[in-house]
Every structure is written in C-alpha cells, then in structure tokens.
Structure 1
C-alpha cells in the first residue's frame, strides 16, 4: 500500500513533464558549466536560457530534435541505444528527465541562425530521407518525429526506429565534424506555420509549449520544489517505520515478579 501511494504521488508530481537533453561533442569553454550533469527537474525557460548561453558557433551542425510524447521512463530502458552512446561520448551534457513549462524552439533556431550565420534545414523524419550534408558553413537541422502512442512496447519500437534514424543522420556528417544536440519532448505543443526560409526550401515548423496547458506540480507552487518533494517522500517512508517500532516497544511486557526474590529463598539465605 505504501509503495502504491508513493508511486501515485510521484506520478502526480511529474505529470505533464518530459525529458530535455543537451550535449556537445566538444568542450564549449575551459571550465564547462555542466561537464557531466544530470538534474531531476528544470523549467523549459531555464533550459532554453542555458542552450542560448552555450551556443558558441564552434559546432558545424546544430541538431534540434523534437520527440513528442517521450517520458522519463523511456530513458531508463534500451529503447534509445544510439542516444545513450552519444551521451556517453559527449564532452558536455545536460540531461533533464522531468522538464516542465514553456520553451520556444523557434527562438532557439533563430538565435543560432543569426549568431552563427547558419542555414536552416528541415529534415523529414517520416520519409526517412535527408539531404547530403557537407561541412561548408554552419547548419541548423530541425527534426520532428511522430508522437509516441499506444502500448509501451509499440512506443519503444517506434522510439528505436527514430533512434536509428537519428544515428544515421549523425553518421552522415563529414568525419570529425563537431555538433551540438538539442533533444526535447513535451506533452503539450502548439504548431504554427513559419515564414519561408527560402524559395527552394520548405518552411520549418516552429513548435512552442502551450502556456495554457497544465504543467507539473513543481511549476504551480513556488515553495514546492523537487527537494521538498523528496523530503516528504522520505518522511512518508520513515514515519510508518517509526510508528511500527514504537508499537513494538510498547507491546513488550515484563513481569515485575521477575525482579522479586521469593520469601523462602530469602529465609534460606538468612
């Protein structure tokens, strides 16, 4: 019962959250901000600010991959072997299993394009094809995968397929090319048509979080952070143990006659 209660509380607190992943194949600065960092929760706005501050234009390719419907539980299994391998090799990374709140991907793309004078390229993940990518100039690649739906095994099969596609995309880069990966997911997105990039390129579809969409519990209460939540979880586990221990101690009965010598024994000793 206690385990079920804890699982229910965890589900409620982390509902409407989704993973946020950022990593690079090189060190962005001598003292990296997050050389190998994994946090529990972070707002989309804070993650977006971190991404913008980490753009130094040293990467030849910037990949922005969107996987709607991804959950933190999906990261704990072998549904994304290529992504895990890339994360293990990354020089710097930031992994947020439970991201929440608003994030404007179009703003991130525009920032990279303007700062690094990069070209924007839309990758059609559904067709399974992508253009020939060379190392001439900076490029921002936007990849949107179909949402994950259905039973968990179907979700993982689809996620593995997307992971393989992303692996082949990264493998198509010229040898030795540095790249930055921005891999995000969200349960609530609104889609809007973006202005044409060029006359011979299809428009990129920017995606934004819906500010009216319900967010996780941590985003609703200012003084209820993941740290406070973990403290309550520990107390919830320890309190029943303490009650059981006190009940066990109080149930111990010792006969006072055990400490009294019988009268005949006393007389005999006399």
Structure 2
C-alpha cells in the first residue's frame, strides 16, 4: 500500500523550515497521464510545473466533476499526523495521486476553472465551505466544476488540527453526495507566511468590529427610544445633584498635576542648594603685577 504523504515527509526532514512553500495535490478516479505517473511524489517543485500537470490531466476530460480546493495557510507538517486529513490520505494511498509537498509559488484556481470549462464544456456549482452548505448536484451530460474555498487554518495547534479535520470531513461528505463516481480533485494551498493571509485576517477583524459597533449602536438607539422623558418635577436638587464634577478623568488629571508640582519643587530646591564660590574665578593680580616685584 502506498503512503505518499508519509514518504514525502520522510524524504524532506528540513522542509518545516521553509515557510514560503505549500503542498499541492492532484487526485483522479481515472488513470493519470503517463508523464504524471513517472514523478508522482515530489518533495520540491514549482507551482507552474504543477499547473502543467493539472492541465495535462484535465485535458483528457475523463471526469464528470472537478473539485478545486483552496486551503490557505497549510503546511507539509500539517499532514504528518496520521489522523489528519483522512480523506486526502486515502487519496495518497492509490496510484492516481500526485503531490508536491513543498511547492514554491501559487496556483490560481480561476485559471484552472477556465481551463476546465473550455476543454470539457463544464459548468460551475456553487459551494459555500464557510457554512458547510452546498446546492444539490444536477445529473446532466456536462461536467461540473466544484470550487471549495476553505478558511485560513488557525495558528494554535489544537484549533488548527480541528479546523484541518473539519475541512477534510466536509470534502468527504461532498464526495459522498455527488451523483458521479468519476471525479478529479485539485488541492492547492498558500504558504503559512503569506502576507496576504494577514491582510485577510485583518479585514475579517475590521468587519467583525464594524458589525459589532453597528449592532451596539442599534441597541443603544432602541434603548434610548424606549425610555420616556422625565418630568421637570423629578429634577430635584438643581445642577449639583444631577451632574458629577469629579469624573475619573478629572481625578487623574489632578493627581498628575500634583505629582508634576512635587517633582518641580524638588528640582527647584536642588538648584537653590547649589553654592558656587566665585573667589575661585578671580585672577591673582598680586603675583602677576610687575610693579610689586621691584
């Protein structure tokens, strides 16, 4: 039995040091082209070479469905655990699997999608991986392109393993619901250290904060509208009873002012205690006057 992922990991003991590489996988239920079979398990490679292999496989148009998977921020070390990604590991144990465990570069799935549509007259099926939902597949004569854009894996180890397993389970469920047994899986990823991932995360945080702010403002406006205005007779005690002068900001300002005044007073006291003997700067005219030596 072939263990492609474990074999590739064993051949690359220093691969974890490469943060700018990412794994690329290709699997098909049909037989791969002969030139692809010759170099199935590659440790290092370029994304452009992998794309050429994908095009060579897709050009046969032997599959009814083409699953295009994008998993940002995944690394070769994420597949070392035998329990991680059981579906992809199942692919790797066949003779129809090709991998580049540490690829340099990026494969644009939009290019692959357009190529499949052009070569095999395929149409795209909408799948929302973020909500784990997808439309029912239609049984027709044309091939289907199924795009899966998985979210970025978390950084922490336990959450990362959980997210990786959930994405793999979703892929397994998707395959089990397809009306065909002839399909090709193209799995691409982006490096863990890709700056685009940080930008993506910052956008998600900003969007979350914006939504939270809008929600808070809506609740605040609702609460204010629900409160009835108080009568003038309830305003007893005048201004002093209804306003607070000693706010936290004012208290801290006073304390800061007292601290600065204390420091300045110490400095002035130190300066005033300094005594300078001006006699040391006077010239000794008695020793230098030539008249007194006559």
Using the size of structure 1 for normalisation, the TM-score is: 0.62
The Cα offsets for residues 75-106 of structure 1, whole Å up to 9 and x where unpaired, read as 11122112212332x44211111011132221
Match of residue 43, structure 1, among 46, 56, 61: 46
Q: Does 1:139 align with 2:144?
A: yes
Contact 2:36 / 2:98 at 8 angstroms: preserved in 1?
A: no
**1:38, CA displacement in angstroms?**
1.0
Larger radius of gyration: 2
Map of 2:164 onto structure 1: 159
**1:134, CA displacement in angstroms?**
3.4
After the TM superposition, which parts of structure 1 deviate over 2 Å for at least 4 consecutive aligned residues? Answer: 7-12, 187-191
More helix as a share of residues: 2
Match of residue 150, structure 1, among 130, 152, 155: 155
- Matches for 1:54-65 after TM superposition, within 5 Å: 54-55=57-58, 56-65=60-69
Map of 1:117 onto structure 2: 121
SS at match of 1:180: strand
**1:165, CA displacement in angstroms?**
0.5
Using the size of structure 2 for normalisation, the TM-score is: 0.57
Map of 2:29 onto structure 1: 25
Map of 1:249 onto structure 2: none
**1:190, CA displacement in angstroms?**
5.9
Paired residues, what number?
181
Contact 1:72 / 1:98 at 8 angstroms: preserved in 2?
A: yes
Distance 1:45 1:126, change over 3 A: same
Query: In 1, Cα distance between the equivalents of 2:153 and 2:66?
Result: 24
SS at match of 1:98: strand
Q: Does 1:178 align with 2:182?
A: yes
Contact 2:15 / 2:76 at 8 angstroms: preserved in 1?
A: no
Contact 2:22 / 2:189 at 8 angstroms: preserved in 1?
A: yes
Distance 1:87 1:128, change over 3 A: same
Map of 1:260 onto structure 2: none
Contact 2:16 / 2:77 at 8 angstroms: preserved in 1?
A: no
Match of residue 91, structure 2, among 78, 83, 86: 86
Structure 1 residues not aligned, in runs of 5+: 1-6, 192-270
Q: Does 1:108 align with 2:116?
A: no
Query: In 2, Cα distance between the equivalents of 1:62 and 1:10?
Result: 30
Contact 2:106 / 2:190 at 8 angstroms: preserved in 1?
A: no
SS at match of 2:37: coil
Distance 1:16 1:27, change over 3 A: same
Map of 1:68 onto structure 2: 72
Structure 2 residues not aligned, in runs of 5+: 1-11, 198-294
Contact 2:126 / 2:147 at 8 angstroms: preserved in 1?
A: yes
Considering only aligned residues, what root-mean-square deviation do their CA atoms show, in Å? 2.3
Distance 1:61 1:106, change over 3 A: same
